[in-house]
C-alpha cells in the first residue's frame, strides 16, 4: 500500500487513489443494480454507477461527451419512471 500522495492544490492527473475510489463506485453501483428488485432502488443504484463513470470520461478530456451523458442519463431515468410509475394521484 503506497502512502497517499500529498494533497496538492494544483494536481491535474487522476492518481491511483482516485482511480480506485471511482472504480469502487462503478462496481458497487453495478452490483447493487443487479441485487435490488424494486425498480426505484435499481434506478438509484444506476445513479451511483453513472456518478462513478463520469470522472473517467472527464479525465480523458472528453468534456462534451460528459455533458451529453449528464443530460441523457436523467432523461432515460425519466422515461423509465414513466413506465414503472405507480399510483397516479
Partner 1 sequence: MDGTLLILLQILVAAAVCWINFVAIDLFFKLPEKGGVVGAAAIGKRIEEKGGGLHGGFMMGNIVSSPDASAGTLLASCGVFIAGIPGGLLAALLVYIGNRICHDPGYAGTTGCITATFIVYGFTLIGFSAAAFIAGMVIAILTIQGISHVHASRLLSRLWKVRRG
Partner 2 sequence: MGCAIVAVYAALRVALESDTLRKLPFLNVLSFAVAGSIALIIPHPLSIVAAAAYFVGSTLESNAIASTFAGGLDRRE
Question: Where does this chain bind partner 1 (CB under 8 A)?
Answer: 6-7, 9-10, 89
CB of 32 to partner 2, least distance (A): 6
Q: Cβ-count burial of 5 within 10 angstroms (0-12 exposed, 13-18 middle, 19+ buried)?
A: exposed
Quick note: the x/- pattern for partner 2 over 17-56, rule CB under 8 A, is xx--xx-xx--xx--x-----x-xx-xxx-xx--xx-xx-
Q: Total binding residues for partner 2 by CB under 8 A? A: 48
CB atoms within 10 A of CB 39: 14
Amino acid at each position: 500500500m503506497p502512502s497517499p500522495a500529498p494533497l496538492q492544490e494544483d494536481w491535474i492527473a487522476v492518481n491511483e487513489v482516485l482511480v480506485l475510489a471511482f472504480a469502487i463506485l462503478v462496481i458497487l453501483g453495478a452490483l447493487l443494480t443487479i441485487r435490488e428488485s424494486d425498480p426505484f432502488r435499481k434506478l438509484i443504484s444506476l445513479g451511483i454507477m453513472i456518478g462513478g463513470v463520469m470522472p473517467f470520461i472527464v479525465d480523458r478530456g472528453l468534456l462534451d461527451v460528459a455533458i451529453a451523458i449528464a443530460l441523457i442519463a436523467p432523461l432515460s431515468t425519466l422515461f423509465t419512471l414513466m413506465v414503472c410509475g405507480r399510483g397516479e394521484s
